[in-house]
Copies of this chain bind each other. A is one copy, B any other.
Amino acid sequence: MASVQDIAVSAVINFISALVFLLAFAIVRLQPINDRVYFPKWYLKGIRASPRSSGSFVNKFVNLDFRTYIRFLNWMPAALKMPEQELIGHAGLDSAVYIRIYLLGLKIFVPITALSFAVLVPVNWTSGETLDHIEDLTFSNIDKLSISNIPSGSKRFWAHVLMAYVYTFWTFYILYKEYKTISTMRLHFLASKKRRPDQFTVLVRNVPPDPDESVSEHVEHFFRVNHSDHYLSHQVVYNANKLAELVEKKKSSHNWLTYYQTRYERNPEKKPKIKTGFWGLWGKSVDAIDYYTTEIEKLTEEEAEEREKVICDPNAIVSAAFVSFNSRWGAAVCAQTQQSRNPTIWLTEWAPEPRDVYWDNLSIPYIQLSVRRLLMAVALFFLTFFFMIPIGFVQAFASIDGIRKVLPFLKPLIDMDVVKSFVQGFLPGIVLKIFLILLPMILMTMSKIEGFTSLSSLDRRSAAKYHLFVIVNVFFGSIITGAAFEQLERFLHQSPTEIPKTIGVTLPMKATFFITFIMVDGWAGIAAEILRLVPLVMFHIKNTFLVKTDHDREQAMDPGSLNFSVSEPRLQLYFLLGLVYSVVTPILLPFIIVFFAFAYMVYRHQIINVYDQKYESGASFWPDVNRRILIGLGISQLLLIGLLSTKDASQSTPLLIVLTILTIWFHNFCKGRFESIFVKFPLQDAVVKDTVERTTEPNFNLKEYLHDAYLHPVLKGVEFEVSKEVDDEESNSLVATKRTSRWSSKTVSNATSEDQKMVSEARLVL
């Protein structure tokens, strides 16, 4: 157990490291050369011009104005300055609401902390009888402030029960108020939005096959009959995955061609050669320029063929369509009603924004969807509880003996002392780390297999899965030692009343561990986030070796985005810790408050200056956030029951069970009161907007406007933009250009967006 001194030392270290990060950030960000790393959002908006376009040569790279260094923390007030309305306009509602989660943490925990220090800390401190007598257990001073300091059966526990009530109702109150505010914000946001295709469009899935009609005709006839006054047009969905692949391949070849051409131009003596085999490592050596030229010709032909095929072949049309209506009312009605007597066909739902559509999943039949969800649920269970088994297996394999056995030719190498100690000391940890880095991708893949049709819903589902993983493996995994599946087995053989006791009794002892965790992950981690070390390094690598055109430079700057599917569940851990320890060890609360306050500022800065969201869902994730905080509250109450019943205060159990039931009820109440605002579009608002629009623009041609809004992006006839020649000023060494996949990820939709997610997720994983 760590003592107060240990905690203090750790606090100082982490505080200093956070400070170092912040100082580094302050210095690095002021250099013009890094401007695109720290203000990409403004570049993307086209508002900010490169500060290097003026001034002396040195000034272009290094900031020599020392006055700016003195105000090295001035980004903080700047971040807080932008009013919320402007923030929503600037960064979107998703981001604006996301940082409100941190604010919510402050709103919940600041009063709770004040109360805890006013009431519980004195109650605990003045009851100093128990721990002084116990010599064998290593209780620290911190425990003198915690519930551990109170002797079994003491009447003082009523103070804790009372506080549990107060905290619960306070949390309810704040959550309710916040839910209400965010509902209003969402409705206001949706109402004030300009005309957008998704307001008029419904995604229809599982169009039943018809022997006499094509999918397109069938859809048209169906909606002409059943929504006769409102149907406007429809857009069938093409299965363009192969075409997207070809386009992608051609683009890559094009990039290579440009690269070799540039090389040849600079060094005309030596014709560039490449090997045709795997990754250019072996195979026949051929002339690179010729090779890619023929390659591109071939691909262009294939692409044209495939494009022809996709558009003409009826089999390339999947059983889904985007149906548009002549009013928001018509679309709202169609999205919310059941069309056919068989509820597994003609499924209608709101169309996501065009850029939010996940095209690959539009054509999954109902029964297959049902089987997929079952399989993924089972897989998630095994992943959560048994992931240590394959990891352990790989770790065993990655040991000295394992390597010696399987790769005997490495024997001389690994027998070296340095290598040996590295393998023994780090390899198992690295294996686990790699798994943890890959985990969000695995969860995202699982969500994709489940068949969700929009990126935002994929994010939300992945977040739910990750939240389960964090609760089981980080929270409970830290409290009870042993792998998750061992815990699971132990719990299966314990009575339901024993489980909270087992966990509850170890709770106070783990407080110091979690305090350290908060400082490392929360304080220093957040400070590292603002420094953006990985994007900084990546930008400079790309800028040096790959950037050829302005467009390339735009690609090279990786603004990243709030990765909801990873960061939100990790954030929930802090709510959980705060709620659990608010009654047990209040000393932990200030650390959480510092985290929330600091993170709020950092992320507010980031969404203003850095992040670029991929889609806008109108804060549709809020019901999940609300639910997860309430799950945390419920866990905290159950653990308190367990803890108190090991302290001979089990007469408080019924009182606390009432609290748990109230929590469940409050969740259901919130769900009934607010959730549909995030799912449905009320007719009243639809009518209002329709009427306004009809009055102001009576002659607007909606059909034209919706014409190809929901065409698969690869079919939209976007051709490659001819790259403008690079401007020398910025590219230090003119090695051109294997473009990053950003542009393609926009064009070919989501085929390669995982790569980026992976990078940003990698940064966020502990």
* A interface list, Cβ under 8 A from B: 183, 187, 222, 225-229, 329, 332-333, 336-341, 343-344, 346, 366-367, 370, 374, 378, 491-498, 661, 665, 668-669, 672-677, 680-685, 687
Determine whether the beta carbon of B338 is less than 8 Å from that of A665. Answer: no
Determine whether the beta carbon of A340 is less than 8 Å from that of B672. Answer: no
A194 to B: closest C-beta gap in Å: 19
With A370-B672, A661-B378 given, is the CB distance from A682 to B338 under 8 Å? yes
Contacts of A668 on B, CB cut-off 8 Å?
370
A334 to B: closest C-beta gap in Å: 8
Determine whether the beta carbon of A341 is less than 8 Å from that of B682. Answer: yes
Contacts of A684 on B, CB cut-off 8 Å?
222, 225-226, 339-341, 346
The CA of A437 and the CA of B757, in the complex, are separated in Å by: 63
The CA of A680 and the CA of B494, in the complex, are separated in Å by: 44
Contacts of A228 on B, CB cut-off 8 Å?
687
A325 to B: closest C-beta gap in Å: 13
Contacts of A682 on B, CB cut-off 8 Å?
337-341, 343
Pairs across A and B, CB under 8 Å, 7 listed: A183-B341, A225-B687, A226-B683, A336-B337, A337-B683, A366-B672, A378-B661
The CA of A676 and the CA of B668, in the complex, are separated in Å by: 22
With A378-B661, A672-B344 given, is the CB distance from A493 to B495 under 8 Å? yes
A344 to B: closest C-beta gap in Å: 6
CB nearest to A681 among chain B residues: B338
Determine whether the beta carbon of A370 is less than 8 Å from that of B339. Answer: no
The CA of A367 and the CA of B495, in the complex, are separated in Å by: 36
Contacts of A183 on B, CB cut-off 8 Å?
341
Determine whether the beta carbon of B493 is less than 8 Å from that of A370. Answer: no
Determine whether the beta carbon of A492 is less than 8 Å from that of B493. Answer: no
Contacts of A685 on B, CB cut-off 8 Å?
341
Contacts of A496 on B, CB cut-off 8 Å?
491-492, 495-496
Contacts of A493 on B, CB cut-off 8 Å?
495, 497-498
Contacts of A333 on B, CB cut-off 8 Å?
333, 337
CB nearest to A381 among chain B residues: B661
Contacts of A370 on B, CB cut-off 8 Å?
665, 668-669, 672
The CA of A682 and the CA of B366, in the complex, are separated in Å by: 18
With A226-B683, A683-B226 given, is the CB distance from A676 to B338 under 8 Å? yes
Determine whether the beta carbon of A683 is less than 8 Å from that of B332. Answer: no
The CA of A687 and the CA of B346, in the complex, are separated in Å by: 15
With A226-B684, A370-B665 given, is the CB distance from A672 to B343 under 8 Å? yes
Selected contact of A338 from candidates B225, B495, B497, B680, CB within 8 Å: B680
The CA of A367 and the CA of B670, in the complex, are separated in Å by: 10
Determine whether the beta carbon of B497 is less than 8 Å from that of A343. Answer: no
Contacts of A226 on B, CB cut-off 8 Å?
329, 683-684, 687
The CA of A492 and the CA of B682, in the complex, are separated in Å by: 45
The CA of A346 and the CA of B187, in the complex, are separated in Å by: 17
Determine whether the beta carbon of A495 is less than 8 Å from that of B494. Answer: yes
Contacts of A665 on B, CB cut-off 8 Å?
370, 374
Selected contact of A492 from candidates B332, B492, B495, CB within 8 Å: B495
Contacts of A337 on B, CB cut-off 8 Å?
332-333, 336-337, 680, 682-683
